[in-house]
Each structure stands twice: as C-alpha cells, then as structure tokens.
Amino acid sequence: MSAPNQSSQDVANGHFSSLLKHWRNVRRLTQIELAVDANVSAKHLCFLETGRSQPSREMVQLLGSALDLPLEERNALHVAAGFVPPYSDKGLAADNLQPVQQALDFILRQQEPYPAIVIDGRWDIRMRNQGSARLLKPFRDSYEMAAGLADNAMHVVFHPKGLRQFIVNWDEFAGQLIQILHRDVAQGSRAAAQLLGEIMAYPGLSAEWRLPRQASASAPVMTMHLAKGDFHLAFFSTFTILAMPMDAALQQIKIECFFPADDATAEKARQLAL
C-alpha cells in the first residue's frame, strides 16, 4: 500500500517523473501511444517516467502539448523539471490585456438586455452586464451567503441560501451543471477540483453527483427556471472561451450568455431595460 501513497505524494510535490506518469494515466495513454504522439522513443519516455533521464525544456513543452494539458499544468510540469514556467498567469490583471478587456466589455454589452457574465477558472464572476444586474437583483437581494461565495457562479447555484432556493428545476439543472465542473476537473483544472470538493459538501446533493457521467440527452439545451413570488424567468445559456490564449489564467476564462427560454422572459427583460 505504500507505493500508491508515495506516488500520490510525488505528484503533489511536483516531481516531474510522477507528474508525467500521472497525466499519461489521466489521458489513458500507454507509454507507446504517448511516445508516438510526442514523436519520441518509448525507451526515452520510460526513462523520463522512472527518473533515469531528465528532460530538456523542449521535451517538457513537447510532452505538455502531446498530453493536451491546460497551460497551468504545463507550467507545473516545467517547474517540476527545474525550468521557469513559460506561460504567464495574470489573466485579466495583466497590463497588456486591455484589448481582451475591451472585447469582453463589447460581448457583455451586445448581450443586453439579457444577462451575461465573465467567470474565471474557479467560477468566480469577474464581470457582469447590466442585464444580469437588473434581472437577477430580486433573487440576489434574498441571498444569505458570504460575500465571496455570492460572487461565485457554482456556489450561488448550490448553496441552500443562494439562487438554489429559487430554481424551480434545481435537481435537473444542478445535476447537469455539476457535470460541467467534472469536465473541468478531467481537463486538469486544480481550481475546479478544489471547487468540486467545496460544492459537494453542501447538504441535499445526490451521491451520484460525486462521479462524472454522460450528460442527459433529453433536451438540446440546459434551461434554468427561476421563480420568486409572481416573478418568473426562464433562461438557457451558452459558454464562450477565448481562442488560443497564451496566459494560464486567461485560458480558463468563460463568457456565459443567457437567452430567454420563453416569450414572457424576453418581454420582462425588455421592460426592465426601459
């Protein structure tokens, strides 16, 4: 039993050989398959996984690409091999990303009068448009959550005193949403893995949600029905990501745009925008 524990500790400590083997197993590749994908010899890959050989910077980059790792994990692989991480991790805070900020502002404005938000890799809401503020205000005013949690899209949906209490189809909607978080974890997001643990600590969640599964094919889109007294809304949403970002934090940015799922919601959005 000691070998698996040691391996897990090696991964946590960022040892390159264990980290490489960990991600190869996550991607369900044999050494030969990864060697072919990376255009290296299976013998050399074996030596890298056992620690008998040390990789060059170019080899680390090649393996990270062959494993299709997110940029934050490629950085971790470089650090484990003793190299400076090649990708910045400043996201929207970077001084040179003003054009990205302007593009996000433009997308949010174009979504009016319907809601739109920008979320990061931990599902924290970084930006929102006026449509989001107007339409969700009646619900947000009733949240009984810590300020930090109230600005996290996942916590808002799953917290018993958040939006969850107003989602009419919460079991169906939350069951599908948790699978999106599982996919983020499967792609290698450490932030998503931590968030998943926090979410699953809430009461009233199905034990089945602890494991990833195929999303239901019963409906073409995921719809959220909200109700507070006589105030009713129904939305479906889309996610947009930035193409080919070279910043680890920016790679995890998602833009979620909400669209009315019925005429009554569309009319309510137009009326509140006047």
The two three-digit tokens of residue 70, written as one number: 């997110």
User: Any idea which residue has 């910077």 for tokens?
Assistant: 57
Give the CA count within 13 Å in the CB-facing half-sphere of 178.
23
Residues 26 and 20: beta-carbon distance below 8 Å: no
pLDDT score for 148 = 87
What count of other Cβ atoms lies within 10 Å of the Cβ of residue 119?
21
C-alpha 167/C-alpha 183 separation (Å) is 23
Alpha helix ranges (H) inside the chain: 2-13, 16-26, 31-38, 42-50, 57-66, 71-80, 98-110, 130-140, 147-150, 153-158, 170-186, 190-199, 263-273
What the block records as the tokens of 41 is: 């010899």
Q: What per-residue confidence (pLDDT) applies to 114?
A: 98
| Per-residue pLDDT at 2 | 32
End-to-end, the C-alpha distance of the chain in Å comes to 66
CB atoms within 10 A of CB 213: 11
- For residue 7, list its beta bridge partners: none
Q: What is the amino acid identity at position 113?
A: P
The pLDDT value given to residue 220: 65
Q: What share of the chain is helix, strand, coil (3-state, %, to 5)?
A: 55, 15, 30
In this structure, what are the phi and psi dihedrals at residue 127, rounded to the nearest 5 degrees? -145, 150
List, as own/partner pairs, every contact residues 224-232 make where C-beta atoms lie below 8 angstroms and the sequence separation is at least 24, other chains included. Answer: 224/167, 224/169, 224/173, 225/167, 225/168, 225/169, 225/173, 225/261, 226/139, 226/163, 226/166, 226/167, 226/168, 227/166, 227/168, 228/138, 228/139, 228/142, 228/166, 231/138, 232/264, 232/265
Burial class (CB in 10 A: 0-12, 13-18, 19+), 121: buried
| Domains, the chain, with CATH or none | 2-80 (1.10.260.40), 92-273 (3.30.450.180)
Q: What is the pLDDT of residue 116?
A: 98
pTM for the structure as a whole: 0.84
Tokens of 109: 């404005």
Residues 54/60/66/71 CA torsion (nearest 10 deg)? 140
What are the structure tokens assigned to 5, written together? 């524990």
pLDDT tens digits in sequence order for the chain, 274 residues long: 333 343 444 554 558 999 999 999 999 999 999 999 999 999 999 999 999 999 999 999 999 999 999 999 999 999 999 999 999 888 777 777 888 999 999 999 999 999 999 999 999 999 999 999 999 999 999 999 998 899 999 999 999 999 999 999 999 999 999 999 999 998 888 889 999 999 999 999 999 999 998 655 455 678 999 999 999 999 999 999 998 888 888 989 999 999 999 999 999 999 999 8
